[in-house]
Every structure is written in C-alpha cells, then in structure tokens.
Structure 1
C-alpha cells in the first residue's frame, strides 16, 4: 500500500516523496513532466507518466499500486502567467482536481492532502495572515486553488473523504543537491541565474514601508514544507483530527534586501542589486502565522535564511 504523489517529479513534489521515504512510507509518483523532471524522482520509486486530467491513468495507478492516500501537488503554478492563460490554469488546477477526486471515489481512496497556496488571500490588509483571513485571490491561479479547497470540502460532505489543505507562500532551498528549483519566475532561480551569467540581480522597488524599503515575505525551506505534508498524511490515515486548512507560515518573514545580502555572503559574489520600479499590486508585507500547523503538524522553521540560500545555491551549481 502506497501514497500517490501527483506532481511528484516537481521541485516540491520530489522533496515530498523523499520525506515519505525517510519515514519508511512507500509512494508512487504521477507526473506529466510538463514542468517536473524525471531525474528528480529517486531510483526505486514507481513512476507513472500521465496527466491528472486522465481519469483512466489515475484509476489504473490506484489499482496497480494499492493506493491508500493522495498528496496532490500537480497543477499550473505560475500566478502571473495565469492571468494570460486563465482557461489553461482552470483546466489543470480545477478540472484536474475534480478528475482526481472522481478517481479516488471510484477506487475507494479517502485520504488527501492538498497543496494549496497563500495566493488565495490576495493582498491582505492585516500584518499577520491567519487561516481566517478573508480570501480575495487576485489571479486565476489563486482562484483555482481556492476552488480546489471548495471541491475537497464539498466532496467530504458528500462522501467519506478525509482532507486537509496546506497554504504557503515562497518555497526555497533544497533538501538534496540532486533537486533544485528550475522555475523561471521565482526569486532565487532568477538571482542565481543572473549571478552565473555575470549579470546583476534585479529587485522591484526599495521604497516600501518596511525596515529596509524592500518587500517582506514568507520564505520557507522546501524540506520543512515536505515534512508537514507527511505529518498531515499520517494524521489523516490515523483518523486523527485535522483542520480543513493550515498556513505554513514563518510568522516573521524576511525582506528581499535581506535575501540579497545572504546571497552575496553565501555565494561570495559581491553585488548591489539593480533596483527596478515597483510591480503593480505588490504589497509591502505578506507574512502568515503557522500556529495551527505548529500545533498539529509539527510545523516549524528548521532552517535559517542562510541555510535556505546555501542549500539552494549548492543544488543550482550542481545542476550547472
């Protein structure tokens, strides 16, 4: 009996698979490799190349591997680009989730951990986001994640589905040199690529109402995130109570300026980032509380900012 990890060949998904393996829990990966990488899946982990939009692929995997629960990470994750590709985003994230839930119901699989996003909050008007903070997603991506949460809640009311959703902001670092963040849109890869190309990294705005003038955000280490997914799965399987949603937040956040200083120190490459104009819609500060997740999911920030930067840099250089 195994847990199915959709999107398990991705940057986050492959770390989740490794976290399950560290606990001695078998997993099976389903991934269409649209953004994931086959090489991110460890040897010996069963791999099914296919889309969550194909119910036959999912049902076949459930039958073949005796799936007892699902960690659902597959989806289209680029919030900014989703504005230009709304239909594609809804198809991948909403239709895909509905197809997965239908396959689970058909095969009697009743446990699911859903990888949601703090994008469901949009631009909150509070200093510290909690699970009760109003949801105002500002992109098709954020909207699709909120709809995914609704789908789980509705299916749970209609069937015996047990579920929880994990919301988080910026995931960085690496738990193993074999896996790095290849996203063309995330801050760390953009900064590292610039340095490796001999260019000066660029940040957007340094005149915000924050201590150093740059935006403050939640940055969490991918290995800490992966561990929370495993604990959530274990609680579901044990029938222990869980909240419908958890924020995996730092409670404090770090600024983009602090990240730039840490990058310079870790890489040994001295630079002063180029300051570009603010991006429209970027709030000065978005930081979430992780209190509920700390209570139930053993959630905590096990890695410092230096740890995050160093592990990410080492993994990125190993991939060069």
Structure 2
C-alpha cells in the first residue's frame, strides 16, 4: 500500500510520513519546498518536488508509483496573513485541492484524508466545539479549508451518481494548534505559531509576550487547544488504515484535547522545558481573539485512535529539543 503525502516535507506532513513508515506503509512525498524542508524527508522515501496545483505532475506521480490514497496536507496555513493574500491562499488551498481531486479521478485513486482546520468554525460561542457546530470561517484561510471540504464532498457525491464509478472514500480532520515534535529531525519553523515564536524569542535573548490577561478564563489569558504533532500524525494514518479496511468513517473529525491550555500555562511550561526563566511582557488584547476555543475529540477517539499521549511539558520539551538540534 502506497500513500501520497502532499506537503510531506513540512512540519506536520513529515510527521505523517514517519507515522506511515512506522506502520509499514510506503509514503511518497510531493512538496514544492515553499515552507517545507527537503531534509525533513527521511532517506529512502520517494520525493517529488512540485506544486500541488500541477495536475499533470500529480496524475503522473499517482500512476507511476501505484498510489492507493492521498494524504492531502499541502496548503497555505497562515490565517492572519491570508487576509492580505487571499488570491495566493485560494490558489494554494482551493485550486490545489481541485487539482488533487482531478488527478485522483484520472489515476483511479479513491481514498483521501484531508488536512482541514478548526478555522472553519471561526469564533464559536460554545464551551466545547463539536463537529456539528456552525461553520463561520473568518479569514480566507478558513474559507479555503471549508471550500476544500465542500469540493471533496461534492466529488464524492458526483461519483456516487455515476454508473460504474468507484466511490470516493474521504475524511477531513479539523485541528487547532499543533505543537511539539516526534523526532529531533523535524521542528516547527512557522513564523506565526506560538511555540516557535516563544522559542525563537528565547534563543535570541528576547522576552516572550502575552497579549491580554483580562479574559474571562481561570488565569485571565486565552485558552486554546494544543495537540502534539505525533499524536496528530497517528490519527491521520489510522484514518488511512480504516479506509483500507473498508470501515465507515464520519466525513469530518475534530482532533481536540477536550480541555485546552491557557497562554499563561504555555509560558510556565516553556520556562520549565527550556531552562530559561522569564516574566512575559504583557500586551493589550489582540482584536478578535476569543477567550476560549477548545474542541471535543471524542468521535475521533472512537474511530481513528485519537488520544492526547503527550502532556504540556512533553510538548514543550520535544519542541525545544528539536529546534535546538538544528
């Protein structure tokens, strides 16, 4: 069984590649290296350099390498920046997904696991986000991920109405803040995520910052879902295996912690895990930041081996060790 991992040279994709290898499943990586790193791809894994919008390259790769399914992780993932780069975001995330689906159809590939996002929910007014919550994306990034889900569902529906067509097995995984590392070979190099922002500040002798301490939460700072990247990768591969076994899955799953962590808790863990003592700089609230966003992962726990196997100290320690190894 061979699976194509789009974006497999990126932070999340590279962990999924390693999770496939651990299960004895052969991965093939396609990545344009715009934010990924060639050195993140393990030795011996087939690597194809190219853009996810290149339908012909996708088609040839799937046919030539006898691909059974696609783990579609490639995409432009910076929600805040997407507001100023909507055309780029839609090209990467919407056209890219359409190209993947077209190539799959031409190559006779009928399984896809889609890396979606909790950004499709926007700012939910509930204590715990479930898959049934209303969808109100608030950025081009969130909108593009929701459209990606629609595209996949529409293609599956179209095939179901086509005589003689093989059904499209599909699932979208929605997740929030992905942190930590499962190997020192791979680290989060995003210039926008909280963990790398704090770590880079400490490495350069600067003091990390908290934006707002007057939220209606236990310690006054925002509460968010933080999940370990290796746990996330495990459930991606579990979804692929479930498809191969013919098990029925929901169309979408939240990969959430169920309780969340505050920014202050993250800062305290950063001090413990890095050995750097500091008192965070306190800034004003950022416009639009909700007090709490936490997801219910019970459905994924039931169906695709979702579990929080790492606590906050393990998240921080693994992230720090992977970054400082480079």
Q: What corresponds to 2:52 in structure 1?
A: 52
Partner of 1:67: helix, strand, or coil? coil
Residues 127-160 of structure 1: per-residue CA shift (max 9 Å, x gap): 0000000000000000000000001110001112
SS in 2 for 1:103: helix
Alignment partner of 1:105 is 2:112: no
**How far is 1:46 from its partner?**
0.0
What is the aligned partner in structure 2 of residue 250 from structure 1? 257
Q: What is the TM-score of this pair, normalised by structure 2? A: 0.97
Alignment partners' CA distance in 2, 1:156 and 1:162:
7
**In 2: Cα distance, 1:54 partner to 1:285 partner:** 39
Which residue in the other structure is 1:144 paired with? 144
The two structures, once aligned, show a CA RMSD in angstroms of: 0.5
Match in the other structure for 1:212: 219
Aligned to 2:315: 308
Q: Displacement of 1:56 after TM fit?
A: 1.0
Aligned to 2:162: none
**1:131-280 matched pairs, under 5 angstroms:** 131-159=131-159, 160-280=167-287
Shift in Å, 1:236: 1.1
In 2, the alpha carbon distance for the partners of 1:79 and 1:168 equals: 13
Distance 1:54 1:199 in 2: 41
Q: Which runs of 5+ in 1 are unaligned?
A: none
Q: How does 1:55-134 map to 2 (within 5 A)?
A: 55-134=55-134
* Paired residue secondary structure (2:325): helix
- Tell me if 1:27 matches 2:34: no
Q: What CA distance in whole angstroms lies between the structure 2 residues aligned with 1:192 and 1:107?
A: 43
- Cα deviations by residue, 1:223-242 (Å, 9 ceiling, x for unpaired): 00000000000111211100
**Secondary structure of 2:301's aligned partner:** helix
CA distance in 1 between partners of 2:274 and 2:102 (Å): 47
Name the CA distance, whole Å, in 2 between partners of 1:125 and 1:104. 37
Unpaired segments ≥5 residues, structure 2: 160-166
**SS of residue in 2 equivalent to 1:20:** helix
| Separation (CA, whole Å) in 2 of partners of 1:78 and 1:217 | 17
- 1:272-291 alignment, distance < 5 Å: 272-291=279-298
Which moved further from structure 2: 231-240 or 14-23? 231-240
Q: Secondary structure at the match of 2:34?
A: coil
Counterpart residue number, 2:163? none
Deviations 1:256-277 (A, max 9, x none): 0000000001111110100111
* CA displacement 1:34-68 (0-9 Å, x = unmatched): 00000000000000000111111101101111000
Give the match's secondary structure for 2:195: helix
